[in-house]
Amino acid sequence: MEDYAIQVENLSKMYKLFDNNKNRMRDSLGLYKTPLYREHYALHDMNFSIRKGETVGIIGTNGAGKSTLLKIITGVVNPTSGRLKVAGRISALLELGAGFNGEYSGMENIYLNGTMMGLSKEEVDATIPAILEFADIGDYIYQPVKMYSSGMFVRLAFSVAINVDPEILIVDEALSVGDAYFQTKCYKKFEDFKKLGKTILFVSHDLSSVSRYCDRVILLNKGNKLADGTSRDMIDLYKKVLVGQVDVERILSAQREPAFLEKPQEEKDAALKEIIRDATATFSELSVKDTASEGEWSKNYKINPEVNEYGTGQANIIDFAVVDYRGNYSTSIEKGTEFEIRSKVRFQSKIAEPIFTYTFRNLRGIDVTGTNSLFEMTEVEPAEEGDVYVARFRQKMSLQGGEYLLSIACTGYEEGEFVVYHRLYDLLSITVISNKDTVGFYDMDSKVLVEKESHEG
């Protein structure tokens, strides 16, 4: 346990669902031998460990069990079965201000929350200057918090939670509170925690932040741990889950097999990759190597051998290209010049409103920029079975010099639900050639004029 901050072993949480309050009361009195409720497992047989100093992300759809898991780790909720081991004091940013009393002043609530976290008065005294500086709400600190604006309330709540000295920090979507300036302070504090070697458990729907900050990611689905791996792999798998391109039950069933459970951890990791690959392939037998690579344009490119490909198969990307300002097929684009991205799609069935897309990601898997025909308000006619469409995106390259990964797709909406017909993630490596780089991901192409002001007389 000395190397681990958190260990979760066979953890489950079951809630009783009653059809009405009368049955709830009857059950509490224990008068009936037959159950008057339905069992709902918010968590089912969860297992994972987090080493000290790791930053681990937890992602999943609504109802995946993320909040329940965090409440168990922080002691708010007791598990139905299983074991939890935590080494170190926890500071949790879950429901900000949940422990605040509206009648108390901000200062009184600081001491109230500090006591709830297990701090002595002397320890709270020592944190007061940092809390007040971070919250920056001035003399309102002496007023009842019921008088605060929502912005002031979350600033103080965040400041109280983050300015104790925990070994483990748990963050649940809390970095997006307040205005832009306060959010910048929150992320700076988050980065400071990482540099200090604190253990961080980070739950967020902001996949770019998960990719940027997390050493690894745990993917939950309907109360089960679906997979655990690098942020890039888990985010890609999550995106497939969102559009129904993964046989989730097949993955979970395979992980419960005795032959899988008996394997050493390294063999489990390798086996799970194969299981996930097979469970995804059952939805689409598409192969970019057999289709797009036969195209007139795409034969000029070296396709990423690890291209992440999936879709319903109702449309196929049969060719693609990146063309520089000279009209050459190229994966090297000069910054500041115009270039074109092309995709050729054959439709296998009737599609009312097809959408064509492209995205650039950096090597950490963070989406840097991209667009689609819907965003650009381009009118696209309904496609019939057998139709072939060519989408061309022309723009100036404004990204900073470096390496990027290009993804393209054909998607759409059916009865209000988002559908991926064919997507090629990280299809090509694109090099941006630049003799002048500025700050950040892209160049604002600023024109600078500096003049000396004359002083007459």
CATH no. for residue 368?
2.70.50.60
For 89, the domain range is: 4-217
**Short-list 300, 320, 323, CA closest to 309:** 320
Q: Read off the pLDDT of residues 393-432 as tens digits, 9 standing for 90 and up.
A: 999 999 999 999 999 999 999 999 999 999 999 999 999 9
How many structural domains does the chain have? 2
Does 298 lie in the same domain as 186?
no
CA distance 274 to 265: 14
In a domain, residue 16? The reply is yes
CA distance 262 to 256: 10
In a domain, residue 384? The reply is yes
Phi, psi of 138 (to 5 degrees): 65, -140
Does 313 lie in the same domain as 193?
no
- Locus of tokens 């559908």: 419
Does 322 lie in the same domain as 195?
no
In a domain, residue 273? The reply is no
Does 304 lie in the same domain as 174?
no
Q: Which amino acid is at 301?
A: Y
Does 119 lie in the same domain as 16?
yes
Q: Which amino acid is at 89?
A: R
Residue 62, burial from CB neighbour count under 10 angstroms (0-12, 13-18, 19+)? exposed
Domain CATH number, residue 155:
3.40.50.300
Across the range 121-132, mean pLDDT stands at: 93
In a domain, residue 419? The reply is yes
Q: Is the pTM of this model over 0.85?
A: no
In a domain, residue 264? The reply is no
Does 206 lie in the same domain as 312?
no
Does 97 lie in the same domain as 199?
yes
Q: Read off the pLDDT of residues 347-393 as tens digits, 9 standing for 90 and up.
A: 999 999 999 999 999 988 889 999 999 999 999 999 999 999 999 99
Does 191 lie in the same domain as 319?
no
What secondary structure, in 3-state letters, does 374-394 show? Answer: CCCCCCCCCECCCCEEEEEEE
**% of the chain with per-residue pLDDT over 90:** 57
Mean pLDDT over each residue of the chain, to the nearest integer: 89
CA distance 268 to 5: 22
CA distance 224 to 119: 35
Kindly tell me if the per-residue pLDDT of 457 is higher than 70.
no
Bridge partner list, 51: 4
Confidence of residue 293 (pLDDT cuts 50, 70, 90): low
Per-residue DSSP letter, 139: G
Q: Read off the pLDDT of residues 242-269 as tens digits, 9 standing for 90 and up.
A: 888 899 999 999 998 999 988 888 888 8
In a domain, residue 286? The reply is no
- Locus of tokens 């509490």: 28
